[in-house]
Amino acid sequence: MSKSHKPGQLNPQNSFQDLILTLQQFWAAYGCVILQPYDMEVGAGTFHPATTLRSLGPRPWNAAYVQPCRRPTDGRYGENPNRLQHYYQFQAILKPSPPDIQQLYLDSLAAIGIDAKNHDIRFVEDDWESPTLGAWGLGWEVWCDGMEVSQFTYFQQVGGFDCAPVSGELTYGLERLACYIQGVDNIMELNFNGGEGERKVTYGDIFLQNEQEFSRYNFEIADTDRLLQHFRDAEAECQLILERGKKADHHESVLPAYDQCIKASHVFNLLDARGVISVTERQSYILRVRDLTKAVCTAWLETAGGRANV
């Protein structure tokens, strides 16, 4: 080990962690609060309360954070070069969406080494919808040389409520982006820490075992009866929290209730991966989670965070 540990120049072109740090620096410089990942299993960065809940109500809000995401059905036991059941998203949420948000986004790409003089960057239509969040928005998938590197969405509704003002959500698919800028075909081969030789730690060094074990768990081991019970428990707990927190003119326990929504949603994803949910049941589970989210969002608008400054 070297003696000094002075932070040096970040190099997102050969380090996964420097990619994250660079994006954090970029958005911090813009004025975002840099949050840490939410400490629960979520399917996308959008589930972080910093996006789902903060995108509702009139208060301005600018935040950025990295969020580990879990999509049990996408597990491939670490054998597919670009599909994982656990991966990272970097998310920036700007509310209200500033007029120059597209340029800001392009500047962030430049910061991580994608320069628009040599790369073909395109905004290709994409309508975003999350049935479980009762949310939708319009925007694009952003292509760089034919590869989708981000999703760019203007939130129109969350939990069934109109977003006013509208938030702009930028979601970077970190592994894919890193593969591209590092010139690597397999996520597991990504250089994680930027080290060379013996000091190099790859993505696979950290996550291959994780992918194998969780794929096994998600597809083979998870006890479905217990999961079904967890789903019902989370649903009941969410409803109970909302009921007890409701006061005449405000609500005082929304965030704990939202945690239960997140829990129910993840349990549903696990059940889906276990293949025990039929096509017709699927729809009804989605609707049950959505009902929870809607109730939570309704309550959120009755809290300090969701209301206008008085």
Query: Using CB under 8 A as the criterion, which residues of the chain lie in contact with other proteins when the complex forms?
Result: 81-82, 96-99, 102, 116-125, 127, 137-140, 144-147, 154, 156, 164-166, 168, 180, 185, 278-280
Least CB distance to other proteins at residue 198 (A)? 29
Closest by CA to 66, choosing from 96, 35, 105, 100, is: 35
Buried b (16+ CB within 10 A) or exposed e, 188-224: bebbbbbeeeeeebbbbeebbeebeebbebbbeebee
What does the angle CA 190 – CA 92 – CA 162 come to, to the nearest 5 degrees?
A: 140
The CB-of-116 to other proteins minimum distance in angstroms stands at 5
| Closer residue to other proteins (CB): 75 or 245 | 75
Nearer to other proteins, 73 or 193 (CB): 73
Q: Which is nearer to other proteins, 168 or 173 (CB)?
A: 168
Token pair, residue 89, equals 């998203």
Which residue, 142 or 292, is less far from other proteins as judged by CB? 142
Q: Which is nearer to other proteins, 39 or 125 (CB)?
A: 125
Q: How far apart are CA 245 and CA 47, in angstroms?
A: 22
Instruction: Round to whole Å and give the CA distance between 287 and 26.
Output: 38
CB of 266 to other proteins, least distance (A): 24
Closest approach of other proteins to the CB of residue 152, in Å: 9
Nearest CA among 1, 12, 6, 54 for reference residue 193: 12
Nearer to other proteins, 185 or 225 (CB): 185
Shortest Cβ distance from residue 173 to other proteins (Å)? Answer: 13
CB of 297 to other proteins, least distance (A): 18
Neighbours of 111 (CB within 10 A): 17
Cis, peptide link before residue 58, omega less than 30° from 0: no
**Does residue 110 contact residue 116 with C-beta atoms inside 8 Å?**
yes
